[in-house]
Chains A and B, each alone.
Chain A
């Protein structure tokens, strides 16, 4: 038998109303052991009704006032019997109540388990479920927004539209092949090329959202480099809000790669502060430099930190050369002193320049904007549908491959039966996202669009 699971369903933050969700066949039974009301029994009330009362902790003492919401299967988020307990006493009390619910017989819900059950009970399709899964783990604000639009079906809608377009082509081809004597519209090469290239452009656009979307979803591996004392550690501390690296006036004091995850506006950065990449004889520092170079090579984003009050030296120039062609931003530090740095040289290296004062915190908004633009994430429109998971990306790119193959076959002058095979492979790839079967979908489409048959 299916277990009954429970968890705090709202964000784990202090203040505001918190909700404990209990889902499974024993939901009402368990809730009744924790939630008490003079008016009625939570086990008896119909679905979609609420009951006012109070909740007890593990010892049976009153913990908080609460409202219990009753949902009866299958009319709930998960499709199972569900009770939601809304309390307002903050995180600590919520945790006490949850402990009582678990003691009353519920199992703690695993990450995404409510969603998994909702999916398994047919309450949402796979693309929606994956969007919710992503939302659960989303850390950046835009990622949450994008995940929300996925839940609403932006991705499902986008894929639906592409599927429709491909099915239109496939069903034309099928009707044309299976009903040679019927009055079916002729297929022209122009029609095929036009539709295929439209689908191709859409697929390309959708695919590009995966990489850009990943920036918001999973964060960006960012490495901070610069010559010693350019202000790297100060920048890091400004971003993280803590004294993480040891900042001294002696060059080379940051001996290791320090990692920290920070939220800068809507961007999630996984920062590594490095020991610089200058040549050194110090064996300990040598290791640090080596690690910094490795980090540099694998980073998705590079912050090149310069001291604006000093002229560029060889090490600075070396950094600029090394970062050529990589996504990087030149950060000019210490704007309160007289500026001596050669900005034109940096610009000629194709670098975007952002001024900040790591000490006062100026320039952080500009930095955020520069990051979004450098990573092409500013063009991302969550309402358009974004690919979230690797599986989705693979299916869409398989679809694109098949569409390109169909175009090539047309170009080479292959017969249309061969082109059809590729078009159907494309349909297949997309349908894998929704679990439909291509041959059935194509046949259905033929009969709804064409007047065929003896």
Chain B
């Protein structure tokens, strides 16, 4: 082992979590080293060639609002962009983009290479251990030892990775990479509680072997809305996707070969994600469905590889070819990369704090799939939070904790560390109880002031943000004070939109509160509207007026939640000794060790009755402390 030098932060893994972690730590002034097993796989997308989607799009916007990279890089290499769920309400509007995966990886790698304070190294980390005086030692396969103040584990599916295709199984990372075969042992030695998860990916197929003639096309939006608040002109869509369906024959082939599936043969011990079932899972679990949908998506502009979304599988290669070829358009398909399942080691995230630092291992952080989540966006969000907090701890600054009421990122982290995970965790809008407040259109308003305070937002970006907020305030004021007289022109609009005409003067704000009326409907009569006002501002104001009642109530809920969050629980509380707590609650509370009453109440298995018991116990504890203080002799 040779001494490879001293750094502030070591990031293990250069995927979506690692990149955001390393970039933020380096930007906040920490000397950072990031390790990747393969230098050509930095920011790789080993599964779907797309970023965003429901709730995930919210995460990307929030990462961007805090000063992360994912949104900007996506805007720079997207092939097709769509705002999902238009018409279902602003809480669930979500942006998704197909990307050129090689371009994405290239851009991210270059950003890391150019980042001051950051060194990118190809090396397999084989062990980490605690050194003296609180430092961490990071050893590589080529006998280098790095001494660092903080380690961020972002190992993805590399850690103890094992690939399954039918009855063939071998140790491997994703996308044909080497796995990280040794690191797990040192984590076990540290005492971390680990587990094994599984995920899977469909085949990549050759574009010119597909017959697109009978397939439905799926086009992008026009105009394209960018992810990043910094992107001015995202440019046009450059590709289309296609839709096809499985059929009875596909299902017959799958059923006939189930005994050759490693999952059904019991070879795989890892727990797979419920939201991302393999096609054999779908066929078995939903046997009454005559067909399942799939999307054929381009992997990039400079490649013929196409991704078959919805068709992940771990059946043998020959079976894959057989059932893919039973699908319309794929009759003569040529597989370039086979579908596979991959098993990997990850950690029980209830061992972590909201900073993503391990409670019992100061200076050790985790992010991404290592924490039991799944998805590029979930990973990037955690990477950003881990990177920021590692840097702040090194600089002796207070931790940055995002709560459920302020962001999807906070919801994601709180779910992980409080509820734990039983299968890979995917973000969904249904996971947020405050979703009319946590919208993708106001992520900047919610988080950019924090990003600015942390130091990840440039002065130019800050100025732009402040200008937008000013626009918004002025427009809100104008909407509340502008009165339209009951003209024929106005009533024509109202009637055409299916809402009642007016007989007296009416405020612009009151018209916008009507579900049927949008800003653009009123352009004709709204003569005092500033011509250069950005659409994003109008959208924002309209939503806040239309959903005012709901937003107000959710904000009241948020106040209540934050009140409970302020009731902190002592670190050393012995839950076993508290009378009246149910056994299950004692056990869960001892394991999760919540920071406050609010978090305690969200632990599954902790009932409102248990919370009452805790509150009573806390107030008694405080009473005793007060009493004890009073009795202290004064000198």
Which residues in A have some Cβ–Cβ distance to B below 8 Å?
2, 119-122, 126, 170, 174, 176-183, 412-418, 420-421, 424, 432, 435-440, 442-443, 446-447, 451-454
A-B contact pairs, 9 of them (CB 8 A): A119-B609, A122-B584, A180-B84, A180-B94, A418-B89, A418-B91, A424-B433, A451-B285, A451-B286
What are the residues of chain B within 8 A of A179 when measuring CB–CB?
54
State the CA gap A217–B506 with chains docked (Å): 54
Which 6 pairs, one residue from A and one from B, show the smallest C-beta to C-beta distance?
A417-B89, A415-B89, A435-B607, A174-B430, A417-B91, A451-B286
Given pairs A178-B430, A418-B436, A439-B431, 15 additional interface contacts (CB within 8 A): A120-B582, A122-B582, A183-B291, A414-B515, A417-B435, A435-B606, A435-B609, A437-B419, A438-B433, A451-B282, A453-B273, A453-B277, A454-B48, A454-B276, A454-B312
What are the residues of chain B within 8 A of A412 when measuring CB–CB?
515
Q: Check B88–A176 contact: CB distance below 8 A.
A: yes
Q: Check A121–B515 contact: CB distance below 8 A.
A: no
Known: A120-B582, A177-B92, A182-B293. A451 touches B277 (CB 8 A): yes
Q: Smallest distance from the beta carbon of A154 to chain B beta carbons, Å?
A: 21
What are the residues of chain A within 8 A of B554 when measuring CB–CB?
421
What are the residues of chain A within 8 A of B90 when measuring CB–CB?
415, 417
Q: Check B550–A181 contact: CB distance below 8 A.
A: no
Q: Check A177–B515 contact: CB distance below 8 A.
A: no
Q: Check A453–B436 contact: CB distance below 8 A.
A: no
Q: Smallest distance from the beta carbon of B400 to chain A beta carbons, Å?
A: 24
Q: Smallest distance from the beta carbon of B612 to chain A beta carbons, Å?
A: 11
Q: Could you give, for residues 49-68 of chain B, a 1 whenever the CB lies within 8 Å of some chain A CB and a 0 otherwise?
A: 00000110000000000000
Q: Check A181–B609 contact: CB distance below 8 A.
A: no
B465 within 8 Å of A (CB atoms): no
What are the residues of chain B within 8 A of A432 when measuring CB–CB?
608
State the CA gap A440–B289 with chains docked (Å): 26
Q: Check B430–A415 contact: CB distance below 8 A.
A: no
Q: Check A454–B430 contact: CB distance below 8 A.
A: no
B491 within 8 Å of A (CB atoms): no
Q: Smallest distance from the beta carbon of B541 to chain A beta carbons, Å?
A: 17
Q: Check B608–A435 contact: CB distance below 8 A.
A: yes
Q: Smallest distance from the beta carbon of B415 to chain A beta carbons, Å?
A: 8
Q: Smallest distance from the beta carbon of B358 to chain A beta carbons, Å?
A: 24
From the candidates A180, A438, A443, A447, name the one contacting B54 in the complex (CB within 8 A): A180
Q: Check A421–B435 contact: CB distance below 8 A.
A: yes
**Which residue of A180, A416, A440, A447 has the most chain B CB atoms within 10 A of its CB atom?**
A180
State the CA gap A181–B82 with chains docked (Å): 11
What are the residues of chain A within 8 A of B516 when measuring CB–CB?
413
From the candidates B285, B295, B515, name the one contacting A181 in the complex (CB within 8 A): B295
Q: Smallest distance from the beta carbon of B514 to chain A beta carbons, Å?
A: 8
Q: Check A453–B275 contact: CB distance below 8 A.
A: yes
What are the residues of chain A within 8 A of B606 when measuring CB–CB?
435
Q: Smallest distance from the beta carbon of A34 to chain B beta carbons, Å?
A: 26
Q: Check A439–B433 contact: CB distance below 8 A.
A: yes
Q: How many A-B contacts if CB must be within 8 Å?
A: 119
What are the residues of chain A within 8 A of B291 when measuring CB–CB?
183
B193 within 8 Å of A (CB atoms): no
State the CA gap A454–B54 with chains docked (Å): 12
Q: Which residue of A lies closest to B94 (CB)?
A: A180
From the candidates B293, B429, B547, name the one contacting A178 in the complex (CB within 8 A): B429
What are the residues of chain A within 8 A of B397 when measuring CB–CB?
none
Known: A121-B583, A421-B550. A443 touches B277 (CB 8 A): no
State the CA gap A447–B428 with chains docked (Å): 12
Q: Smallest distance from the beta carbon of A317 to chain B beta carbons, Å?
A: 52
What are the residues of chain B within 8 A of A174 when measuring CB–CB?
428-430
What are the residues of chain A within 8 A of B428 when measuring CB–CB?
174, 178, 443, 446
From the candidates B312, B419, B583, name the one contacting A122 in the complex (CB within 8 A): B583
What are the residues of chain A within 8 A of B582 when measuring CB–CB?
119-122
What are the residues of chain A within 8 A of B431 when measuring CB–CB?
439, 443
Q: Which residue of B lies closest to A441 (CB)?
A: B604
Q: Smallest distance from the beta carbon of B388 to chain A beta carbons, Å?
A: 26
Q: Smallest distance from the beta carbon of A433 to chain B beta carbons, Å?
A: 9
Q: Which residue of A lies closest to B515 (CB)?
A: A413
What are the residues of chain B within 8 A of A121 when measuring CB–CB?
582-583
What are the residues of chain A within 8 A of B580 when measuring CB–CB?
120
Q: Restricting to B83-141, which residues have a CB under 8 Å from any CB of A?
A: 84-85, 87-92, 94
Q: Which residue of A lies closest to B423 (CB)?
A: A447
Q: Smallest distance from the beta carbon of B329 to chain A beta carbons, Å?
A: 17
State the CA gap A93–B90 with chains docked (Å): 73
Q: Could you give, for residues 596-635 of chain B, a 1 whenever the CB lies within 8 Å of some chain A CB and a 0 otherwise?
A: 0000001010111100000000000000000000000000
What are the residues of chain A within 8 A of B477 when measuring CB–CB?
none
Known: A435-B608, A437-B602, A440-B419. A454 touches B309 (CB 8 A): yes
Q: Smallest distance from the beta carbon of B590 to chain A beta carbons, Å?
A: 16
B591 within 8 Å of A (CB atoms): no
State the CA gap A417–B433 with chains docked (Å): 12
What are the residues of chain B within 8 A of A421 when measuring CB–CB?
91, 435-436, 550, 554
Q: Could you give, for residues 306-347 of chain B, a 1 whenever the CB lies within 8 Å of some chain A CB and a 0 otherwise?
A: 000110100000000000000000000000000000000000
Q: Restricting to B564-608, which residues have a CB under 8 Å from any CB of A?
A: 579-584, 602, 604, 606-608
What are the residues of chain B within 8 A of A413 when measuring CB–CB?
515-516
**Which residue of A126, A170, A417 has the most chain B CB atoms within 10 A of its CB atom?**
A417
Q: Which residue of A lies closest to B218 (CB)?
A: A181
Q: Which residue of A lies closest to B577 (CB)?
A: A1
Known: A178-B55, A440-B419. A126 touches B433 (CB 8 A): no
What are the residues of chain B within 8 A of A417 when measuring CB–CB?
88-92, 429, 435-436
What are the residues of chain B within 8 A of A440 when measuring CB–CB?
419, 604
Q: Which residue of B lies closest to A424 (CB)?
A: B433
Q: Which residue of B lies closest to A126 (CB)?
A: B609
State the CA gap A265–B483 with chains docked (Å): 68
What are the residues of chain B within 8 A of A126 when measuring CB–CB?
607, 609
State the CA gap A416–B309 with chains docked (Å): 27
Q: Smallest distance from the beta carbon of B24 to chain A beta carbons, Å?
A: 28
Q: Check A451–B289 contact: CB distance below 8 A.
A: yes
Q: Check A453–B295 contact: CB distance below 8 A.
A: no
Q: Restricting to B451-499, which residues have a CB under 8 Å from any CB of A?
A: none
Q: Smallest distance from the beta carbon of A143 to chain B beta carbons, Å?
A: 24
What are the residues of chain A within 8 A of B432 when measuring CB–CB?
439
Q: Smallest distance from the beta carbon of B416 to chain A beta carbons, Å?
A: 13
State the CA gap A276–B435 with chains docked (Å): 62
B292 within 8 Å of A (CB atoms): yes
Q: Smallest distance from the beta carbon of A237 to chain B beta carbons, Å?
A: 46
What are the residues of chain A within 8 A of B312 when measuring CB–CB?
454
Q: Check A447–B275 contact: CB distance below 8 A.
A: yes
Q: Check B609–A453 contact: CB distance below 8 A.
A: no
What are the residues of chain B within 8 A of A418 when measuring CB–CB?
89, 91, 436, 547, 550
What are the residues of chain A within 8 A of B275 when measuring CB–CB?
447, 452-453
State the CA gap A337–B516 with chains docked (Å): 75
From the candidates A183, A437, A438, name the one contacting B293 in the complex (CB within 8 A): A183
B274 within 8 Å of A (CB atoms): yes
Q: Check B604–A415 contact: CB distance below 8 A.
A: no
Q: Smallest distance from the beta carbon of A177 to chain B beta carbons, Å?
A: 4
Q: Smallest distance from the beta carbon of B349 to chain A beta carbons, Å?
A: 15
What are the residues of chain B within 8 A of A170 when measuring CB–CB?
430
Q: Smallest distance from the beta carbon of A393 to chain B beta carbons, Å?
A: 16
Q: Which residue of B lies closest to A432 (CB)?
A: B608
Q: Smallest distance from the beta carbon of A441 to chain B beta carbons, Å?
A: 10
State the CA gap A318–B294 with chains docked (Å): 80
Q: Smallest distance from the beta carbon of A387 to chain B beta carbons, Å?
A: 17
State the CA gap A122–B286 with chains docked (Å): 35
State the CA gap A424–B553 with chains docked (Å): 14
What are the residues of chain A within 8 A of B292 when measuring CB–CB?
183, 451
What are the residues of chain A within 8 A of B273 when measuring CB–CB?
453
State the CA gap A420–B89 with chains docked (Å): 10
Q: Check A416–B89 contact: CB distance below 8 A.
A: yes
State the CA gap A170–B431 with chains docked (Å): 12
Q: Check A177–B85 contact: CB distance below 8 A.
A: yes
What are the residues of chain B within 8 A of A416 when measuring CB–CB?
88-89
Q: Restricting to B197-254, which residues have a CB under 8 Å from any CB of A?
A: none
Known: A121-B583, A178-B55, A432-B608. A454 touches B274 (CB 8 A): no
